[in-house]
Amino acid sequence: MRTVGVEEELLLVDPETGEPKALSAAVLARAEADDADQDMFEKELYGQMLEFATHPQTDLAKLGEEIVRCRKEAARHAGEIGCAVAALATSPLPVSPTIGMNRRYQWLADQYGIATREQLVCGMHVHVGVESDDEGVAVLDRIRPWLPVLLALSANSPFWQGKDTGYDSYRSRVWDRWPSAGPTELFGTAERYHRRVADMVASGAILDEKMAYFDARLSERYPTVEIRVADVCLHAESAQLVATLARALVETAAREWRAGTEPVDHSVSLLRLAAWQAARDGTARELLHPATMRRLPAESVVRALLEHVADALADAGDLDRARDALSGLLRRGNGARVQRELMERTGSLRDVVTECVHHTQG
């Protein structure tokens, strides 16, 4: 059974006004003083963000429980200094991000200019265990066309600087300003993967291998494939669903590799179009089908993902739970739909944020 761990980035906000607050250092200090939470939270590029990481789990129900617990602990520490946490992939209200003062963050600001100063976005990263770099690269080559579907399910960033962007995941459009972000071509072998990353670093355009911001990559810290395409999900149960589907995708791809099934050789150009379509429409209208790269109703493409990974889900005991969670998400809508419905009901982006604070904690 493959392990799964999740990293989530949360927005720190004023609980009354909904405005982002650059208080991550104070929240981290509170967490570090708590023996139980010392290793849970991590510093991020911006003062308005807080990141946590779960432990690796094989039981995805326990992973869901840990996501809820981490969110509640983040809310507790934030509340102690007068702010709140919101699982929002972009701030609906206008914000001027505060960049951390360490040397790495300052290098990013100097190198990328305004692209760094406007990168206040919150994602979700899913780490799935693999047996070797060879297996990991085989997985990366085979999950590429399915990653936009995970983006559509997680999409939770319709607003940017006080306006509706027309996108369900505007975070992904902002994230793609990094020169090393996005889908990748086929690697074929672990040696080619590592050579490609080394060449990118040697170019001087990125600082180190941590900046290989691919939609999915080999983790430089853990024996995992790290799937980085998702928005942070508004609801913890959606985060658990994305993690469940991610593990099933990895397992399905590994089985295909062992069986000698070649990966689909879609071009990066087509994969970018699929990601754009997913960011634009989420689960509301259409997606590009991973096999044909032609538009179909989003729900039918999501169902195709479930069918693609059904055997892996069933073998892990996750199929019924994933099917029910997916039906619930399609019925309720992703985070972007929830945010827009809140905006339509309240007429206030401030109220959208404050309501999403409650959604974050369930």
pLDDT at 162 over 70: yes
Q: What CATH number matches the domain at 4-346, 3.40.30.10, 3.90.1640.20, 2.60.120.10, 3.30.590.20?
A: 3.30.590.20
- C-alpha 300/C-alpha 115 separation (Å) is 36
**CB 139 within 8 Å of CB 248:** no
Contacts 24+ apart (CB under 8 A), 108-116: 108/45, 108/207, 111/207, 112/177, 112/178, 115/177, 115/178, 116/45
Specify whether the backbone of 235 is left (phi greater than 0), alpha (psi in -120 to 50) or beta.
beta
Of the pLDDT bands very low, low, confident and very high (cuts 50, 70, 90), residue 341 is very high
Give the pLDDT score at 189: 98
pLDDT digits (tens, 9 = 90+) for 170-219: 999 999 999 999 999 999 999 999 999 999 999 999 999 999 999 999 99
pLDDT digits (tens, 9 = 90+) for 226-245: 999 999 999 999 999 999 99
DSSP secondary structure letters along 5-37: EEEEEEEEE-TTT--B---HHHHHHHHHTSGGG
Report domain extents, the chain: 4-346
pTM exceeds 0.95: yes
**Burial degree of 332 (CB within 10 A; 0-12, 13-18, 19+):** middle
Q: How far is CA 304 from its chain centroid?
A: 21
Of the pLDDT bands very low, low, confident and very high (cuts 50, 70, 90), residue 36 is low
pLDDT digits (tens, 9 = 90+) for 62-109: 999 999 999 999 999 999 999 999 999 999 999 999 998 889 999 999
